[in-house]
Structure 1
């Protein structure tokens, strides 16, 4: 699959973030009311997500400047991915698919019972995380053997050391995610959205300090113990601070942790029944991720041997972070607001309202995700040069990231739709169906990745792997749609199709203007940081304005609602 997202929220699926305030709107209220409620909740959360993502990309840019995109960066990024893989493998998916719906239903049954149920789940999670962290520290070499591809010598030794050190993050990551899940069920969304900002600031400072103490280009062979300690301390410290930042909001929500394991009859069985299928789904997706990561790392080793530059895991990793930005800003926000609400509707058997929730969420996400995909496809070179062509990373290195980003842009719409469909299944306490869908997605992804590695030139392998990801996500979205259509008695397909058709018409002026800006600036100034910044700003602003104008002309309901909300919050407008 893709790579875990470590720029702001932990890896896939990200822990439920949000923005403090009301979630999801009330029940019922019609489709328009449902979309309006989602818009309010999503807008509140999107502000926090935007802050975390912007600082997250500053963090990514700083790390790229400090570590480059070669052997040192591959060792650091591969090792720093391991904690998120282990967490996701053993707990992350359970939070999204199991814990939120179960807590919602426990509270509906009885408030006192629901509070005690939360205490039991939290205690179980803390104990499990402590055990997971200890085992992961011991298994550092095994993880690098799995994910490190052809790493050897000093690069492998450094990656193993980092993997052992970074494993400590598993405990903080899990507590942070579980705390965020509890806050989301209580309709308090701000802290989980804003806490990652603190993490990102710590990592930015760490990367800046590394740049100050490093002399020349640092490699796995030349890195000092002090530099290793700096990177490890900053990385672990950022995650610890992110976790601690959630506790004031938890206490403000009324949550008080009192360790207890007095599970009632049937509770563990209910958790286990749902968790087994979730675990199976996560195992399947991580198999796909292991294959693609290993192939990307192997491509990087081959690229350096053939004198092709840095064409391995780190460019792929950085492109994936950029690809996730629009989904995280609007998609994660909408999904976070939707899941508790859909769980309530599903628990009450109101499947028509679940269908309306899905339709509203998908259409609202698409308003932002479609133009974002268009801009990524056209202005990929400008985006990556402006963000990454600094320090130890050249313009040529940034262009490699751009090639991968263009391919990821194709995946953006089906990826968001597929993720939203998974949450519909979870709201119905169905974790089995997503597992079977996931098998098809992963088989497609692995097949395409292996094909890309076998038939493409070394410097195009990671581009082909990204293309395989796009095809796999599309397959998952199509299959999920077909199954849910039967479960929900339809998918509001006509309304979704009309909305997408209108958005597609509004999208073409954006693409045309952005491409024209790219061509004119490139012809006049050539490729570089200054020209890239000019083209990026002019193309994004001009194209975005054209998109909004044409979307309003096409009477896209969600765009009008967004613009009205923004204008109402301007000074002097109430």
Structure 2
């Protein structure tokens, strides 16, 4: 994942007010009872506050991610209309390589290892220690190590662009022009990993300090750069005799740089923009590297998964990469708005509870996040399974993207969309293990997930083509979810399984009714709008509108507490926005 200054200031002011209120409440408690009672009251209040703030924090992250996803949707619409599938095939492979390394050197292993360690150091401040000074020194050291690794990886990636393309898209060897275009795109776009790795580390610091606004909104700048490049550059590039597809590559580089620049004022405001230190001996850095070891292996498994999926797709003819990628991007839309937002917002709280040994509170916070996540993810899965064709037609069918492309993308979307709820569950489960310092279990499960994916892909790509790869992704995600949940039950005294299952069943019932309403609306409008302007747009719009309306009504009738939780959080935020300053 720029209107950050005001948001960051508001978040800081609200945080200061809450801190002051907490201090006053603690003082009143001490005056009313003995020190132990006050400490208990303060701890209980702190745990409750963390859960209450989870929705608000996720709302901030979700709002920023929503903006980024809307812009990303515009980007995908522009790419589909303005570039051929051969050009987008090459770009999606080229961009996948540094984007996947970002999972290793940025948002994945590094961020998931840094946030718990940084949160632990900051917790010393609450205990009367000098946690802030230690945290800043640690962050300077880990930034130095990270920058060095990013430079090395970027240079190596540019040097070995041809070998990486052969690894990811060996099937393109049968289409030499496509292969050479992909090699060139890969070499040019590889510095993106340096920018995104730097931005991801800054995001870790901001999240650990509960500054979610900047980190949430900055990723939108990548899509702004993509859109500007897609509309402004193809013509001048073509006139200069340069492949117009380079516009997508240039957009990626500019977007990465903008994200780093957008974070800098907020990092400077919290004192985390100092010079990096190259101190490999720092105990905090060693702890991050210790945590990263198993995580790196786990993400390495994911990387193999990605290599194989891209390689399988490269052997399935022109367009397969693009259909798969567009379906994945449409799935990212609902996932990113709230599912990833909840996971991001929950990790600092989970890490704090784990550092204090409060496993009961950790379990309650995890359960709340899981219920809220599934309340969004289950209807998203149902909607994308039953309404894939009208959605894709509405969003993408124009220009170079024809009816055949829409149908093939919808096939991939139905399979990938059906797995959104399992992906959402995994994204709530994994941070719990990371918060508790257990990085081994997710790694083992990832390895099993890889085996499941390869087996399913080999079996399904024949009869289903590129959609078979999407089906394999869905099946392996279900395996990963079940294994992680079984492992978590062995580590937490209470995983609140009955509570989560009851919530999920209510949500599923509402989602199925909403899907029927959306399907009916799409078919009715398709018949009525035959002679209308933009006739391809209206069935999808009607389907989504009907689905959302029916789901909200059904969730209310089923008495889903998650609906009220989300609406009350929205109402509180709107009241704060209207309050006089």
TM-score by length of 1: 0.88
CA contact (8 A) 1:31 1:360 kept: no
Structure 2: distance between partners of 1:211 and 1:331: 35
1:433 counterpart (441, 448, 461): 441
> Residues 170-185 of structure 1 correspond to what in structure 2 (within 5 A)?
170-185=193-208
Is 1:249 matched with 2:230?
no
Establish whether residue 536 from structure 1 lines up as the match of residue 536 from structure 2: no
1:478 alignment partner, one of 476, 482, 489? 482
Q: Which moved more, 1:287-296 or 1:253-262?
A: 253-262
**More moved, 70-79 vs 262-271:** 262-271
CA 1:50–1:59 in 2, change beyond 3 Å: closer, same or farther? same
Aligned equivalent of 1:134 = 155
Match of 2:292 in 1: 275
Pair 1:263–1:78, CA change in 2 (3 A): closer
State the 1:80 CA deviation. Answer: 1.3
- Does 2:280 correspond to 1:284? no
Offset at 1:524?
4.3
Higher percent of residues as helix: 2
Task: Sort the Cα spacing of 1:223 and 1:150 in 2 relative to 1 into closer, same or farther, 3 A.
Answer: farther
Encode CA deviations 1:402-433: one digit per residue, 9 max, x unaligned. Answer: 11111112101111101211111000111111
Q: How far apart, in 2, do the equivalents of 1:358 and 1:488 lie?
A: 10
1:490 to 490, 494, 513: 494
The structure that has the greater radius of gyration is 2
Shift of 1:443: 0.7
For the residue of structure 2 that corresponds to 1:227, the secondary structure is: coil
User: 1:87 offset after TM fit, Å?
Assistant: 2.9
User: Could you tell me which residue of structure 1 aligns to residue 390 of structure 2?
Assistant: 382
Superposition deviation, residue 53 in structure 1: 0.6
Q: Is the 8 A contact 1:385 1:529 kept in 2?
A: no
Alpha-carbon shift at residue 493 of structure 1 (Å): 0.9
**Which residue is 1:236 aligned to?**
253
Residue 53, structure 1, aligned to residue 53, structure 2: no
Cα deviation, residue 258, structure 1: 1.9
Instruction: Determine the C-alpha separation between the residues in 1 that align with 2:248 and 2:89.
Output: 14
Q: Deviations over 1:349-390 (max 9, x none)?
A: 111111111100011112222222222122211221122112
Counterpart check, 1:151 vs 2:172:
yes
Equivalent pair of 2:366/2:428 in contact (CA under 8 Å)? yes
Relative to 1, partners in 2 of residues 1:31 and 1:121: Cα closer, same or farther, differing over 3 Å? closer
Contact 1:50–1:329 under 8 Å retained in 2: yes
CA pair 214-162 structure 1, distance change in 2 beyond 3 A: closer
Residue 372 in structure 1 maps to residue 380 in structure 2? yes
Question: How has the CA–CA distance of structure 1 residues 257 and 549 changed in structure 2, closer, same or farther, with 3 Å as cutoff?
Answer: same
Q: Deviations along 1:241-262, whole A, 9 cap, x unmatched?
A: 1221111111122223223234
State whether residues 49 and 194 of structure 1, in contact with CA within 8 Å, keep that contact through their aligned partners in structure 2. yes
Q: Distance in 1 between matches of 2:272 and 2:165?
A: 39
1:383–1:532 Cα contact (<8 Å) kept: no
In the alignment, the residues of structure 1 paired with residue 525 and residue 544 of structure 2 have an alpha-carbon distance, to the nearest angstrom, of 13
Shift of the 523–279 alpha-carbon distance from structure 1 to 2, 3 Å rule, reads same
Structure 1 residues 77, 229: closer, same or farther in 2, change over 3 A?
closer
- The whole-number CA distance in structure 2 between the counterparts of 1:337 and 1:59 is 26
Tell me the residue number matched to 1:108: 123
- Name the CA shift for 1:29/1:509 in 2 (closer, same or farther; >3 Å): farther
- Counterpart-to-counterpart distance in 2, 1:161 and 1:348: 51
**8 Å contact kept, 1:66–1:210:** no
Please point out which of 300, 310, 329 is paired with 1:293.
Answer: 310
Q: Which runs of 5+ in 2 are unaligned?
A: 2-7, 23-42, 125-130
Greater shift, 34-43 or 371-380, is seen at 34-43
Change (3 A) 1:86 1:264: closer
- How many residues of Structure 1 are paired with residues of Structure 2 in the alignment? 538
Structure 1 residues 275 and 234, CA gap change in structure 2 (3 angstroms): same
Contact 2:118/2:208 (8 A) holds in 1: yes
Q: Displacement of 1:207 after TM fit?
A: 0.9
CA drift at 1:89: 3.5
After TM superposition, list the pairs within 5 Å mapping 1:16-35 onto structure 2: 28-29=44-45, 35=51
SS in 2 for 1:225: coil
Question: Structure 1 regions of 5+ residues with no counterpart?
Answer: 1-7, 9-16, 216-221, 302-309
Contact 1:484-1:490 at 8 Å conserved across structures: no
Structure 1, residues 468-493: CA drift from partner, whole Å, max 9, x if none? 11111111111111110110023101
**2:99 corresponding residue in structure 1:** 84
TM-score (norm 2): 0.87
- When structure 1 is superposed on structure 2, of 474-483 and 34-43 the one drifting more is 34-43
